[in-house]
Amino acid sequence: MRGRPGDGQEAPPLPVGFSLVLDPDTVVRSEGRVVVGGDPPRTLALSTSEARLLEELDGGPVRTAEAGALARRLVDSGAAHPRPPRSAAPGRTAVVIPVRDRAAYLDRLLRALRASEDIAMVTEVVVVDDGSRDREAVASAAARHGARLVARPVNGGPAAARNSGLAACAADVEYVTFLDSDCVPRPGWLAPLLAHFADPEVGAVAPRVRPASPDRSVLGAYAVARFPLDLGEREALVRPGGRVGHLPTAALVVRRAAVGEDFFDEDLRYGEDVDAVWRLADSGWRVRYEPQAQVVHTEPATWSAYLARRYHYGTCAAPLALRHPDRIAAVMLRPAPAVTAAVLLLACPALAGVLLGSAVCGLPRHLRRAGLSATAAAWVTAQPVGTTLTGLGRALAQVGLPALPAAAVAPGRRGRRLAMMGALAAAPALRDWLATRPPVDPVRWTLASLADDAAHGVGVWHGALRSRTLAPLLPRFRSNRP
């Protein structure tokens, strides 16, 4: 991977021919001279000439280097998103499929690839057999659909299998698409991803991963609504700490020049995709999430398989914390919202109201000059407090369960303490139920969510003890700076 750009080095402009669309949360004020939005939210002050360029970019393509520089600034802040030119021609593309057994899934995926119109953009398909027990079945599925087979002598895990596939691609391949065998791409999935590579700064792009159609069980409805690989319907620039902070490699396209043949850390059995994407972003490449492109992922059919997977996902938190010490924690907190949330939990709503009012009055002048209304200012201030409370509740449900016995035996109002902790742990589940309205009653939904969080938390504890680090079990504070 290339090195991170030096401090003070200006980012290259967005190429001529690209156009922009403002993020739905972005607001333009003061005749175009103030842009409020981005990820994380911020205020961008524009000069008069830049305000004119922004007006030209509203519906029009980048035509000059000056317009490209402004477009890059907006895209890199998250206040706007790029629209590649339709004339962008993709380069040579390979598909790499790591698999261990699951020959029926592999056959289904290869059949879908051959039937898709996107196959015209693919120059080769490489299947990596990662130490299957039934090698003949995997080899037969690959041969039946004209895929090239790379057989690893022993099982090395997803990271090792993907690295083997990456190394096996033809020398002239420019883009490599990783697809897991339990995925099925939807029609038209590849073209929107490859179009983003018309920007030479883009190193990777991922589609939206959707769960397969659910059955009528509680697990089926729950797994769809809380599907961990689905990053939502809104596009984003992917970076650590952002609204979309990582990407799953169940489906991911990378620029081959941006990654080495050891792109994935083979010491990681889980979380290798998070680590790889973070290192790619840290080295200066842009990473995009493009929900217009979609693939379908098959989910576990039983609660035991589902919770086992959640447990395994949890075990990667500690190894990731050792590699990225500032990015993994039980919950990320900002001091001011955390203090207000703590006051609320101590049942002092009057004091919490004073703190919120002080924060609203203390908003920076440039936000008030941007025309932020009193209602909007109150929302901007109160929203982080709600996010903090739900974050604390999820952390309690995942890694804080060992605190329950201590709360039960400590002197004082034990019943009140336990009730408060129970309500806090259940709050994220109820918030999700209200947001998604799944076909499951809130009681069973909450129980399923708590079981999900507990399984994940056991994995986090196991990984932390094995790696001898407390980092994923503790909160971490971040600056209040928006």
Output the pLDDT for position 339: 64
Residue 214 Cα distances to 4, 218, 223, 298, 439, angstroms: 43, 9, 8, 10, 11
The residue ranking higher by pLDDT, 241 or 461, is: 461
Mean pLDDT value of segment 332-345: 64
- Residue 396 or 450, more confident: 450
| Position 94 confidence tier, pLDDT thresholds 50, 70, 90 | very high
Q: Is residue 308 part of a domain?
A: no
Q: Is residue 321 part of a domain?
A: no
Instruction: Give the model's pLDDT for residue 398.
Output: 81
| Whether the predicted pLDDT of 341 surpasses 70 | no
pLDDT tens-digit readout, 129-148:
999 999 999 999 999 999 99
Q: Do 473 and 415 have their domain in common?
A: yes
* DSSP letters for 303-348: HHHHHHHHHHHHHTHHHHHHHSTTT--SEEE-HHHHHHHHHHHTT-
Q: Tell me, yes or no, whether 414 lies in a domain.
A: yes
| Residue 236: its H or E element | strand 236-237
Rg (the chain; Cα; Å): 24
- Distance between CA atoms of 238 and 107, rounded to whole angstroms? 32
Residues 455 and 243: their CA atoms lie apart, in Å, by 24
Q: CATH number for the domain including 278?
A: 3.90.550.10
Q: Is the pLDDT of residue 413 over 70?
A: no
Q: Tell whether 134 and 251 lie within a shared domain.
A: yes
CA distance linking residue 353 with residue 225, whole number of Å: 34
How many domains are there within the chain?
Answer: 3
pLDDT digit string, tens, across residues 1-56: 554 444 446 789 999 999 999 999 898 888 888 888 888 888 888 999 988 999 88
Q: Is residue 12 part of a domain?
A: no
Distance in Å from the first CA to the final CA of the chain: 30
What confidence tier does 375 reach under pLDDT thresholds 50, 70, 90? low
Q: Does 332 score more than 80 pLDDT?
A: no
335/290 same-domain check: no
- DSSP secondary-structure letter at 410? S
| Whether residue 122 sits in one domain with residue 101 | yes
Q: Identify which has the larger pLDDT, 87 or 462.
A: 462
Give the model confidence (pLDDT) of 348-368 as tens digits: 555 445 545 555 555 555 455
100 and 233 assigned to the same domain: yes
Select the more confidently predicted residue: 219 or 411: 219
User: Is residue 449 one of the residues assigned to a domain?
Assistant: yes
Q: Is the pLDDT at 391 greater than 70, yes or no?
A: yes
Residue 311 within any structural domain of the chain: no
Q: Do 194 and 217 belong to one domain?
A: yes
Residue 127 predicted with pLDDT over 90: yes
pTM of the shown model:
0.85
- 61 vs 481 pLDDT, higher one: 61
Domain boundary among 299, 315, 339: 299
Which pLDDT belongs to residue 355? 46
In a domain, 13, yes or no: no
260 vs 453: which has the higher pLDDT: 453
Angle, helices 158-168 vs 272-282, to 10°: value is: 50
- Read off the pLDDT of each residue in 266-292 and give the average, rounded to a whole number: 95
Give the percent of the chain with pLDDT over 70: 81
Residue 396 confidence (pLDDT)? 77
- Of 280 and 338, the structure prediction assigns the larger pLDDT to 280
Whether 186 maps to a domain, the answer reads: yes
pLDDT of residue 311: 94
| Helices and strands (DSSP H and E) totals, the chain | 17, 16
Residues 414 and 463 placed together within one structural domain of the fold: yes
Residues 346 and 387 in one domain: yes
Q: Are residues 240 and 343 in the same domain?
A: no
Please name the residue that has the structure tokens 């190193």: 203
Could you tell me if 242 and 103 lie in one domain?
yes
3-state secondary structure of 23: coil
Taking residue 378's Cβ as centre, other Cβ atoms within 10 Å add up to 16
pLDDT for res 373: 56
Looking at the structure, tell me whether residues 250 and 371 fall in a common domain. no
pLDDT bin (cut points 50, 70, 90) of residue 235 is very high
Tell me, yes or no, whether 110 and 249 share the same domain: yes
- Look over the chain and give the mean of its residue pLDDT values, rounded to a whole number: 84
- Name the residue range of residue 452's domain: 331-477
Residue 175 has what DSSP assignment? E
